[in-house]
Amino acid sequence: MATPAKKTAQRQGFKTGEHIIYPSHGVGYITAIEEQTVAGFALELLVIEFEQEKMTLRVPVAKIASVGMRKLSDAATVKKSLEVITGKPRVKRTMWSRRAQEYEGKINSGDLIAIAEVVRDLFRSENQPEQSYSERQLYEAALDRMAREIAAVQKTPDTEAVRQIEGILAKAPSRIAKAASSDGQEEAAA
């Protein structure tokens, strides 16, 4: 039987009413700390809601560290992640299935910098070739995770964070130089 949440709801630095990062699901909100008896053992559980997925997760307090749950990134980490996406995309010359696994691992790591690397590497501007369906799916997943964490840190809507990220990507110096050189090549060919 579940007993009501405790009034002094704070465990291992996490407390009710705060946003957290759960690596495989992204930004969640701790709504309560409950005690439940499971198979004769009393367990303390953090009740975490993921609004976007319409999902509630109950995480045993003892498992917080092993699942990789963490607090939201600080402003300096957000700034660094936004700097990462201005860099030159790094695309390894390995099979797509292997790269896709690496990207998926970075997205589910919960590490904002690693997620920013995926966004940087998979972003395509209008003048670049089309993406495959799976590339687009991974890009959207990484963009969504990154935007939701930045929005939670900056206390802005998710859509504003997406606009901010895509604006930075479009203005990245490495992309502008590449667009200018490809335009010059087209004119020379004509």
Amino acid letter at 180?
A: A
How many domains does one find in the chain? Answer: 2
Out of 47, 71, 95, a domain closes at 71
Residue 22 lies in a domain: yes
Q: pLDDT at residue 7 above 50?
A: no
Name the maximum alpha-carbon separation found in the chain: 78
Residues 186 and 179: their CA atoms lie apart, in Å, by: 11
- Residues 42 and 101 grouped into a single domain: no
159 and 128 co-located in one domain: yes
10-54 pLDDT tens trace = 566 788 899 999 998 999 999 998 898 888 888 888 999 998 888
| Residue 5 resides in a domain | no
The residue from 18, 41, 71 where one domain ends is: 71
For residue 138, count other CB atoms closer than 10 A to its CB. Answer: 22
Could you report the per-residue pLDDT of 149-158, keeping only the tens digit for each?
999 999 999 9
